[in-house]
Every structure is written in structure tokens, then in C-alpha cells.
Amino acid sequence: MITATEKALKEIRRLIESDPSAKGAALRVQVVGGGCSGMSYKLGFESEAPKQTDRVIELGEVKLLIDMKSSLFLSGTELDFSDGLNGTGFVFNNPNAKRTCGCGSSFSA
């Protein structure tokens, strides 16, 4: 389904530890309409129980929640984290993306 690099997992854990409201939360990974290329990624912490239709992926102590629609576009995707000269943030290495925009935050499938 979706994997994450150790660097991405480390950053997710850091964010959870630094935000008291995120303690015990899972990271929701979504694909939503919008952006330069038609679809974009959305990340957010969620403390509520997963929905019945969510896919729950446990990567060590990090839980990812993915809704059914998003899972169609995220199959085989690797979540990474970049903190280099070109910017800081999460990076999606998505084999389903046929085209991506210059900013790297939107794609078409």
C-alpha cells in the first residue's frame, strides 16, 4: 500500500511529540482534488478512531489512516521527508503519478 522512509517516520514522531494535542494521534494521508495538476496530497493528525472504511497502516509506532478513495491513488507510494536546500517537507514518491507540478505538491494520475 504505502511505505515511509525512516526519515519521514522520525519527522512524524517529532511532530507528534512536539504537539500535545497530537499525542496518540494517527497521520491521515489523503488525496484531494486541486492543485496545478488536478490532485494534491493532504496530511493531518487525527485523534479520533479510524472510520470503518479506512485502511490503517502501522509502521512501528506510527499509524497512517487512508480513506478508500485515496488508497486508489497511493498504492505503492513512499512517503519521505526532505530537509535539503530545495526546501523542507514531506515528499511523495508516487508511481501512479503521470505528471507532477513544479512545486511537487500536486499530480495527475
pLDDT in tens, 17-65: 999 888 889 999 999 887 665 788 899 999 989 999 999 999 999 999 9
The pLDDT of residue 76 is above 90: yes
Tell me what pLDDT residue 42 has: 92
**Domain count for the chain:** 1
- Listed in sequence order, the residues at least 6 apart from 79 whose beta carbon sits closer than 8 Å to its beta carbon are 2, 3, 4, 5, 8, 29, 90, 91, 92, 93
Tell me what pLDDT residue 39 has: 82
Strand order in the sheet with 106-108: 55-59, 62-66, 26-33, 39-46, 106-108, 99-100
**Coil, strand or helix: which one is 106?**
strand
Q: What is the CATH number of the domain that holds 43?
A: 2.60.300.12
pLDDT higher at 61 or 99: 61
Q: In the predicted model, what is the mean pLDDT of residues 100-109? A: 57
pLDDT mean across residues, the chain: 87
By residue range, what is the domain housing residue 38?
Answer: 2-108
**Coil, strand or helix: which one is 12?**
helix
| 71 C-beta neighbours (distance < 10 Å), count | 19
pLDDT higher at 94 or 79: 79
